[in-house]
Amino acid sequence: MGNKCEFDNSQISFPRSYKKLVKSIKENDRDAFIKYLIGWYSGSLECSWYDSHKIKDNNLYYGYWHFEVDAVAKRLGIDDFDLQNEQYYPYELFHFIEED
């Protein structure tokens, strides 16, 4: 008996939050991609983790890093050097892994 994925990955779970990212991917538009990254947090109102930094629990908040956007940047061949200072871009994490 093989493993069957029951998850429908043809639909975006949070279409409003990811609409601009999908558009930047389809059009291979670097400027739209960067604009999406900059507005990512404010565009994530529908996500359960939004504003979790305001909850007074030291074990809950772990930061707001947009891991998927790094994967997209690498897949599209976008030079991410100038993204390293963007607040939500996990530049150091992914470049640290590449150096090992």
Rounded to whole angstroms, how far apart are CA atoms 13 and 16?
9
For the chain, the domains span 15-99
Share of the chain above pLDDT 70, in %: 73
For the record, the structure tokens of 28 come out as 């291979």
| Number of other CB atoms surrounding residue 40 within 10 Å | 21
Tens of pLDDT, residue by residue over 34-44, are 888 888 888 77
Tens of pLDDT, residue by residue over 42-64, are 877 777 778 878 877 777 666 67
pLDDT band with cut points at 50, 70 and 90 for residue 100: very low
Burial 6-32 (b: 16+ CB within 10 A, else e): eeeeeeeeeeebbebbeebbeeeeeeb
For the record, the structure tokens of 7 come out as 């998850």
Its pTM stands at 0.64
